[in-house]
Amino acid sequence: MSLKQVLAVNFRQFLVTTSGLVLTVLLSMNAYSQHSHGILTPGVTFPQDDAVLTDPPQMITMSFRVDVQLLKLALYTAEEEWINIGFQYDPSRLSHSFVYLIPFELPASDYYIARWAVTDERRRLINGEFKFAFGAGALPPSEIIAGRVSDLEELLPETGSYR
């Protein structure tokens, strides 16, 4: 085998090995980022997302897999009207479980939206929401929202132009 052939074989082996290493690193970074978001999402909420309860909830609870700082917990009606549940951010509180009492009657609404935001010790910020409804005749929030989707179609001019 000539020197040129040996160099070509070695270069191909180098490319295969290097590309394999790069692919491994990229895949592991993607898996880590997906995993870290999973850690910061609540493992358990009460009420559960899309739940229909018989009676109004007396509290909102959230449990995480790791200790987090709860930056925001806000409750809204289906019409996006804010309901003051007395949440106050406590920068010294780092926990995996949070319980907030609802010691008053909630205003009438088709469903309710609990929106939250947390950060961990690495200052990664994650936010989300869960919805629930209660009472006789209540429907899951997802069904109510699906019923609001319009069946209208947008007609664009045939000139091929866009807005």
Collapsed DSSP state (helix, strand, coil) of residue 24: helix
Q: Closest Cα partner for 98 from 51, 45, 49? A: 45
Distance CA 96, CA 86 (A): 20
CB-based contact 62:116 (threshold 8 Å):
yes
Q: What's the pLDDT tens digit per position in 22-33?
A: 344 344 443 333
Higher pLDDT, 67 or 156: 67
CB-based contact 99:84 (threshold 8 Å):
no
For residue 69, the cross-strand partners are 119
Domain of residue 67 covers 42-148
CA distances from 73 to 20, 63, 76, 111, 162 (A): 44, 13, 10, 17, 40
101 and 34 together in one domain: no
Distance of alpha carbon 53 from its chain centroid, rounded?
A: 22
143 and 109 together in one domain: yes
pTM of the complete model: 0.68
Answer yes or no: is 155 within a domain: no
Q: What's the pLDDT tens digit per position in 40-80?
A: 677 899 999 999 999 999 999 999 999 999 999 999 999 99
Q: Which backbone phi and psi does 12 adopt, to 5 degrees?
A: -65, -40
Answer yes or no: is 104 within a domain: yes
CB-based contact 64:40 (threshold 8 Å):
yes
Distance CA 68, CA 11 (A): 49
Answer yes or no: is 110 within a domain: yes
Average pLDDT score over the chain: 80
pLDDT for the residue 101: 94
63 and 35 together in one domain: no
Q: How confident is the model at residue 147 (pLDDT cuts 50, 70, 90)?
A: confident
97 and 36 together in one domain: no
Distance CA 98, CA 68 (A): 10
92 and 138 together in one domain: yes
User: Structural domain tally of the chain?
Assistant: 2
CB-based contact 95:68 (threshold 8 Å):
yes
Answer yes or no: is 162 within a domain: no
pLDDT for the residue 43: 81
Q: What's the pLDDT tens digit per position in 97-123?
A: 999 999 899 999 999 999 999 998 888
Collapsed DSSP state (helix, strand, coil) of residue 58: coil
pLDDT for the residue 24: 42
Higher pLDDT, 122 or 154: 122
